[in-house]
Amino acid sequence: MNKDAWAAFEKARRRFRDAVEETGAALPALIELQERLVAGRGGPAYTVQTPVVYNEALDEVGPQSRIKLILVGDNPGRREQAARRYLVGPSGKIAENFFRDHPELGIDFRENVIILNKTPVHTPRTAELKELRRLLNAASNAAAFNRAMDASQRVMAGLVVEFQKALSAGASREGIVPVWITGYSEMKKGGIFEAYTETLRSLYLEEEALLESLFFYRHFSMNQFTIDLRQKAEKEGGKNTAEILARMGADYRKRILG
């Protein structure tokens, strides 16, 4: 990264850290409700250590780092809140294996990728964000809590654009660092990530050059991503992996953003 790009990256990183602190301060009842979700889910018991998670892996990025991809997941799960890093559980292993098995993409998952989420708020499973919101709504300050939950998604959508601009500073259209949004089923109207989707759509409609490098895919979890890719490859025989991924990601983008 050149001097200007590095300064922009550092600014985005600080904004991310500040947003996590602000979300935590706006949701004082959060950890108690998250512990309630853990206790009632029937899965492994654990203590919630980090209710709102900043991805500390970003602190290892320096001016000499070669970031080739921004990958966006859903929200921090059990392992992520303990490690204070994103995509370190089973889905992260699948993602890591995917890039290792496709060296033609030229991406080392742990060296060339930065990872964001649609919200930094932890739940054991993403679907439990609905239950967390219901529990917050039962509290005395429900309106303020809802605003804070939505704000966490909006700021994360804004950070996607901010990081992409920083990492692509001075690049031609072909050199813009792409963004992969994984998991889009809850990005619909009325879905868990509606606020994220609305913000993302609004921001990218003003950034035509960046929009062409924004792609949507299924989750890495349960091999949804790789199964989808394999099915598309069978239909489009003869095309290389990068071409198929670009076509897939653009088609899903049109479906989600219109």
Q: What is the mean pLDDT of residues 147-172?
A: 94
Q: What is the mean pLDDT of residues 135-147?
A: 84
Q: Using alpha carbons, select from 190, 194, 193, 44 the residue that is nearest to residue 124.
A: 44
Q: Residues with Cβ < 8 Å from 145, sequence gap 6 or more? A: 26, 27, 29, 136, 137, 139
pLDDT in tens, 96-110: 999 999 999 999 999
Task: Decide if 48 contacts 38 (C-beta within 8 A).
Answer: yes
Tokens of 196: 């994220």
Task: Decide if 168 contacts 177 (C-beta within 8 A).
Answer: yes
What is the Cα 218 distance to its own chain's centre? 12
Where along the chain do its domains lie? 3-257
pLDDT at 137: 85
pLDDT at 83: 97
pTM across the whole model: 0.95
pLDDT in tens, 191-241: 999 999 999 999 999 998 899 999 999 999 989 999 999 999 998 776 899
pLDDT at 193: 98
Q: Is 60 exposed, middle or buried (0-12, 13-18, 19+ CB in 10 A)?
A: exposed
